[in-house]
Amino acid sequence: MEGLTIHTSSKDYPVYVGTGVIEELGSFLKEKFPSLTNLLIITDENVGERYLSILVSVLSDFKPLSYTVPNGEFAKTFEIYQQCLTFALEKKLDRKSMILAFGGGAVGDLSGFVAATYMRGIPFIQIPTTILAHDSAVGGKVAINHPLGKNMIGAFYQPEAVFYDLDFLHSLPIHERRSGFAEVVKEALISDLNFYQWLEEHISNLEQLTEEQFSYMLEKGIAIKGSFVSKDEKESGVRAFLNLGHTLGHAIEGEAGYGKITHGEAVMIGMVFALELSCELLGLTFNLSKFKNWVKKLGYEIAIPTHLDHQRLIYRMKQDKKSVGGHVQFVLLNQIGEPVLKEIDDQYLLESLKMYRGEVE
């Protein structure tokens, strides 16, 4: 089976993308992990109800165990993390056991963190089921949330492989399609003007994506993500550019309450804000009105939710992982495909938030 390879300083691993790739998982495991003792599938309620029986039947030779966690961000908590570990201990998983993360980014982040920390690390495989997870399943950022900040408790821990079966994507509701597509737009904006222009020209309705559009976008997105991760696995440099839109996006998610707004929809609001700052501070030449009209037509809200307070958002942004000494750092764009990290002082940030919300002339 043909796949892309992700190269990192700690490990190289394949990403298989396409319809039906899940059928190959059993033979992959037999070939690469001949001494497997236990397989534990971690999934969530939505995915479990729809697809767990398919995965279990593909893996029937392995008699996999499964553990179901709550949907979405409700899975990325200390409580659920502990429950997964307790289940793994009770079922006597050992160092030759493996975890399969079967679901969207929330399941992937949680399960990866369980795998990274159980007995100081056992292997895991990502089996993503959302558009968004083309991003989250690759690169080894695994984490749970803390009430004070998104993904604050985690690790860099690469999977053994990613099996991305596009057949699972058909049941995604529209707001989840939007959430995932935001990360594709992000990947284009930080690295590839032609890809961005292709997206803007070809994608006008997220409910009517063709198979070809799906695979083109996702493979391209994965390749971009992989290239940043390969250069900088642990985010001491260029990997931070994958955070475009996330400084404000994560603050909105945390302030609204995890799960109230999808990750990608919050990131889209953050990206529009970062593009505004890029035009103002770096002279980015970009038709921002056209961009806003395009994403609004795709159904995105681009305004910061009105009930969220500026000062609280700034407080959260200061805790962002890119902050240094409490100074907020934004990913901005000099040009499309030319990201930079820029410190923004609190007063300027406050004024910009007010301006953006139309509170000052």
Ligand X SMILES: O=C(O)C(=O)C[C@@H](O)[C@H](O)[C@H](O)COP(=O)(O)O
Which residues are known binding-site members for Zn(2+)?
183, 246, 263
134 catalytic, yes or no? Answer: no
Q: Which is nearer to ligand NAD, 129 or 352 (CB)?
A: 129
Task: Decide if residue 141 touches ligand NAD (CB under 6 A).
Answer: yes
**Closest residue by beta carbon to ligand X:** 151
Spatial CA neighbour of 294 closest among 317, 268, 256: 268
83 Cβ neighbours under 8 A, 6+ residues apart: 67, 69
Q: Please give the distance of CA 103 from its chain centroid, rounded to a whole number.
A: 12
Q: Residue 256 corresponds to which tokens in the numbers above?
A: 């609204």
Q: Residue 171 corresponds to which tokens in the numbers above?
A: 């049941």
Going residue by residue from 253 to 292, which x/- string records binding to ligand NAD, judged by CB under 6 A? ---------xx-----------------------------
- Residues numbered 17-56 forming contacts with ligand NAD, rule: CB under 6 A: 44, 46-47
Which amino acid belongs to residue 65? L
11 catalytic, yes or no? Answer: no
- Residues numbered 143-162 forming contacts with ligand NAD, rule: CB under 6 A: 151
Q: Which is nearer to ligand NAD, 46 or 352 (CB)?
A: 46
Q: Binding-site residues, please?
A: 105-109, 129-130, 141, 150, 183, 246, 263
Contact 273, 304 (CB under 8 A): yes
Q: Please give the distance of CA 224 from its chain centroid, rounded to a whole number.
A: 13
76 catalytic, yes or no? Answer: no
Interacting residue with ligand NAD among 13, 81, 168, 196 (CB under 6 A): 168
Q: What is the gyration radius of the CA atoms in the chain, in angstroms? A: 20
Residues within the interface to ligand X (CB under 6 A): 135, 139, 141, 150-151, 183, 235, 239, 242-243, 246, 321
- Minimum distance, C-beta of residue 139 to ligand X, in the bound complex (Å): 4
Tell me which of ligand X, ligand NAD, none is bound by residue 265, counting a contact when its beta carbon lies within the kind-specific cut-off of 5 to 8 angstroms: none
**Closest residue by beta carbon to ligand NAD:** 105
Tell me which of ligand X, ligand NAD, none is bound by residue 239, counting a contact when its beta carbon lies within the kind-specific cut-off of 5 to 8 angstroms: ligand X
- Residues numbered 98-137 forming contacts with ligand NAD, rule: CB under 6 A: 103-107, 109, 129-130, 132-133, 135-136
307 catalytic, yes or no? Answer: no
7 catalytic, yes or no? Answer: no
Tell me which of ligand NAD, ligand X, none is bound by residue 72, counting a contact when its beta carbon lies within the kind-specific cut-off of 5 to 8 angstroms: ligand NAD
Tell me which of ligand X, ligand NAD, none is bound by residue 179, counting a contact when its beta carbon lies within the kind-specific cut-off of 5 to 8 angstroms: ligand NAD
Tell me which of ligand NAD, ligand X, none is bound by residue 133, counting a contact when its beta carbon lies within the kind-specific cut-off of 5 to 8 angstroms: ligand NAD
Q: Choosing from 220, 250, 253, 316, which is the catalytic residue?
A: 250
Task: Decide if residue 64 touches ligand NAD (CB under 6 A).
Answer: no
Q: Choosing from 186, 225, 253, 255, which is the catalytic residue?
A: 225
Active site residues: 120, 141, 183, 225, 235, 239, 243, 246, 250, 263
Q: Which residues bind ligand NAD (CB under 6 A)?
A: 44, 46-47, 71-73, 76, 103-107, 109, 129-130, 132-133, 135-136, 139, 141, 151, 168-169, 171-172, 176, 179, 183, 262-263
